[in-house]
Structures are given as structure tokens and as C-alpha cells.
Amino acid sequence: MLTANPQAVKNITCIGAGPIGGGWSAHYLARGYNVTTYLHDTAEIDGLHRLLETAWLSLTEMGLAPGASLDNLEWTTSLEDAVADAEFIQESIPEALELKQNLYQKLGDIVDPNVVIASSTSGLSMTDIQSHCRTPQRTLVAHPFNPPYLLPLVEMVGGEKTSRETVAWTERFYKAAGKAPLVMNKEVPGFIATRLQEAIWREALHMVANGEATVEQIDHAVVNGPGPRWALMGPCEIFHVGGGEGGMAYCLNQFGAALKLPWSRLVAPELTPELRDAMVDGCAEMCAGADFSSLSRKLNRGLVEIAQIKSRLANAQRSGADKSL
């Protein structure tokens, strides 16, 4: 039996302190949780503090939960100490299957079996990760988008031995924690959002490799074209709106034949040294020497403003619906 009430959780353990693990720590701290972060090495602490300081600027602007404070963070290099009081565990260690399997095998032995363990993996299956775990029924994938403290999506899917109770409980927990969980129907490599993102990424690489577009042109096209629409609607709804009164049916009837045209190439191109250099040099030129911190602040400011705009639109829509009642 899992912890009875996911809304009563107060103590979170984050395993890993990189961009994802540290980002999760920032999110949970901003929501008023007590967070214990497990570090593989004490050398990671400075990087974690820098990430939290950068994140806190945007999180403060977004609005902190009552009691939220960076002082609610503890860190340790002892895995046993890190999970001792955990009521929920968010794992974000490197994407190496054997590494994760060994960790879950150990967690299965030292963590209360009623505590859910969620993996931030972006591509590995929970069926594989949980294969050596003594208590696999309480483990599942909970894949965030970066930065986890600003983007609400969490793609959730269990493995073959994950219980339905675990998935349902964790969905309620993430909603209480201010996230937008998406429970998948089945395990699929890359989940949903990453697969869609990967399709665009592969096409971008093809265009650079073939001299059809530069890095800057590709980003210019997305930022000034579909990007702003995607912040408000997904591709299916956009096509539905694009069909006017006829909706999606009009779009499919009008443009369905174009699906057979060679407009995209889903097979990944060979990452030759030349293509790698073109991508690296193109990004360096496009970003004009800006460092990671300044780029992160730029991205975060934009994401905060988009989130605030979406919130205002949602509130206005609810207000209009209330007035019509």
C-alpha cells in the first residue's frame, strides 16, 4: 500500500544534481517541499547551487508556494541517508542502463516499499530499469522537459511489473506538485514529446548536412513560425484550426496527398565530423559567445512570460464561461 495521500507528501529525495536532477530540486523547493539531494561527489555541490540560484529568479517571478525556501534543501553523498525519510523519490542519474539497474536494485532493498521511485529517463524503458529491483511494482518513468522547474510536462509510463496503483498515485502527486502529468498507454522509446522533437531535430540535421539551411535559418524559421503557435496549441489542434470551419477534415482532404511528398526524411543522417562541426560552429556563431548562464536566463524569462500569458488566457476563458452560466 502506497502512502495514502499523495497531497500529504512533504519530503522529496532527488537522486542526481545535473540539469535535470537539480532542476527537479528547484521545482520541489519552489512548491514548498523539503528536498534532500543525493550527490555522487561533493564536487557537484557548487554546480547545484548555481543552478538553483538561476532557477530561483524565475521561480520567484512565477510565484512561490507558502513556505518555499532554498533553506529547505539538504544534500548528502550517502544514498542511505538521502532516502531515509523520503516520501517520494525522483531519480535523475546519467542515461546508462546498467547504472540505473544497479541503483534500482539497491533502492529496492533500502527504501520503504510504499515509497514511489520515479525515473527522469529520457529514453530507457522502466521494464529494463526495474528488472533487478526487488520491489518493481512501485517504480515508473516520469520524464520531464528541461528545465523541469518551468516546463510542466511529465510523461509517465510504468514497466511490465509496475502496479496500476503506482501510476494512479503518482499522477495525483504530480498534479498536487504543480506539474502536467501525461499517462502514456504503453512503453514507447522516446515517449511522446521527445519523439516529436527528435523528428524535427533529424530534419534540421539533414538540411544542414545538405547545405539547404544554416543553423541560424532553422532556428529563425521555428521561432518566427510554428514556435509561437506551439506554445498555445499542439500540432493537431493547430491543423484543426487551420482548416477553418471544415476543421481537421478539411486539412486532411486538402493536403492529405502531400503526405507522400518527400518533404521530410525521418532517418537520421550520418553524424560526420563535418556535420558535427557545422552544428557546433553554427550555434557558436548564432549565440555570439553567450555563456550557459545568460542563455538560461534568456530562455527562462521567455518561458515565465509564456506561462503567465497562458495563465491569463485560461483565467479569461474560465471567467467568460462562468458569465455564460
Q: Walk along the chain (325 residues) in steps of 10 and give the mean pLDDT of each run.
A: 84 96 98 97 94 95 95 97 97 96 98 96 95 97 95 97 97 97 94 90 92 94 86 77 72 69 72 76 76 75 82 80 61
Q: How far is CA 46 from CA 52, 71, 83, in A?
A: 10, 15, 22
What is the pTM assigned to this prediction?
Answer: 0.82
CATH (residue range 193-289)? 1.10.1040.10
Tell me what pLDDT residue 297 has: 79
Outline where 74-188 has alpha helix (H). 79-83, 97-110, 126-129, 164-176
Give me the long-range contacts of 96-99 (CB less than 8 A, separation at least 24): 97/124, 97/128, 97/129
Domain limits, CATH 3.40.50.720, in the chain? 6-183
Q: Which residues contact 301 (CB under 8 A, 6 or more apart)?
A: 58
- Range list for CATH 1.10.1040.10 in the chain: 193-289
- The CATH T-level fold of domain 6-183 is Rossmann fold (3.40.50)
pLDDT of residue 240: 75
Cβ–Cβ < 8 Å for 24, 144: yes
CA distance 109 to 113: 9
Query: How far apart, in whole angstroms, are the C-alpha atoms of residue 89 and residue 3?
Result: 13
Place of cell 502531400: 258
**Which residues touch 180 (CB under 8 Å, ≥6 apart)?**
152, 153, 154, 174
